[in-house]
Amino acid sequence: MRLPTLKRFAVPAALAAVLAASACGTTEEGSATGGSEDESGPVSVTDFLGREVELDAPAENVVALEWAEVEIVASLGVTPVGVADLEGYNTWVGGTVPVEDTTDVGTRQEPSIDAIAGLGADLVIMETDDEALIASIEEFVPVLVTEGSNETDNLARMKSDVDMIAELLGKTDEAEALWSDFEAKIADTAAAIEASGNAAVPFLFADGWVEGDAVSVRPFGTGSLVGSLAAAAGLENAWTGETDGAWGLGATDIEGMAQYTDTEMKFIHNNADGSNIFTDGVAGNAIWENLAFVKNGEVHEMPHGVWTFGGPKSSEAILDAFAEVYAS
């Protein structure tokens, strides 16, 4: 298995002040259900790159080129008219927020500009600082650039992304409700874990892949979205190693996991594509089979179709998974 590619682009230091100030930010295809107080007038936001994005009216026909943004748009009551790597979305995200009756517009790394242009979209939402790509798409349709991840504070970053998207879709009321539900889920999860008496038990959350005979393990650190959600729920992350500085992800292998000797530690892994890395992929591996948490039966599989880099609804599903592991 190779995990879905994550993109991360450096942002010029000169934009830092702008970025700090830019935190403003069943459905029918290409249409909005429900709505905010003013759905007809011009809308504008300052996006992650400090660019002013202005529309004459809230967008109804939206193309989203990253899965978190697809999820957010759909969660606000709008089905995107175009999605990058729709099959991948359905595998990794669709168990939480399914999207149907839309057009695949290529990969997330190399979207088809021709396909996007042919959809008559009002807005394209993406994560990139590729000025050439942005300019190519903007020949046909306005572009909103979101942040996607921030190891410093991923929950505040997610809210900023949601608010930016909601403003341009005329869905600010829906965004408030979406965020309120998410905050309630955090509180409920924290309370359930505290009541279980297991809050002090650490966890290690990871995914991985096999190359030849080697199993690569990708732990989610405290700055990842998963790590941020766990901290909000009162949990302790066992991964204290280095991370990538963007997504909060570490790197190790089965041998490196031998450091975890706590028999109560809970290992939680993602197996959305059914590749069974931490079952079939480690079968017969003596190091794995002798890990303390393995011998103690503390290996837990995430529900499928829950995106660990997603929006509020994916985050709620992650919190549900933590509650299931700790409080059931």
Domain limits, the chain? 13-179, 196-327
pLDDT of residue 121: 97
More confident residue, 87 or 24: 87
| Residue owning tokens 């606000």 | 76
Q: What is the mean pLDDT of the chain?
A: 90
CATH 3.40.50.1980 fits 13-179, yes or no: yes
Structure tokens at 100: 């149907």
Q: Tell me if 13-179 shares its fold with 196-327.
A: yes
The Cα 91–Cα 273 span in angstroms is 6
The Cα 31–Cα 19 span in angstroms is 30
End-to-end Cα spacing for the chain? 30
Res 40 pLDDT > 80: no
User: Considering only CA atoms, which of 106, 116, 171, 109 is closest in space to residue 138?
Assistant: 116
pLDDT of residue 307: 97
pLDDT of residue 7: 54
Three-state SS across 113-175? HHHHHCCCCCEEEECCCCHHHHHHHHCCCCEEECCCCCCCCHHHHHHHHHHHHHHHHCCHHHH
Residues contacting 69, CB < 8 A, separation 6+: 125, 126, 127, 146, 161, 165, 311
Residues contacting 184, CB < 8 A, separation 6+: none
Bridge partners of 218?
207
The secondary structure element, H or E, covering residue 49 is: none
pLDDT of residue 317: 98
Q: The CATH number of 196-327 is which of 3.30.450.20, 3.40.50.1980, 3.40.50.300, 3.40.50.1820?
A: 3.40.50.1980
Give the mean pLDDT of 95-106.
Answer: 96
The Cα 177–Cα 312 span in angstroms is 11
Give the CA distances from residue 109 to residues 128, 271, 314, in Å, rounded to whole numbers and listed in that order.
Answer: 10, 23, 22
Name the pLDDT band for 102 (thresholds 50, 70, 90).
Answer: very high
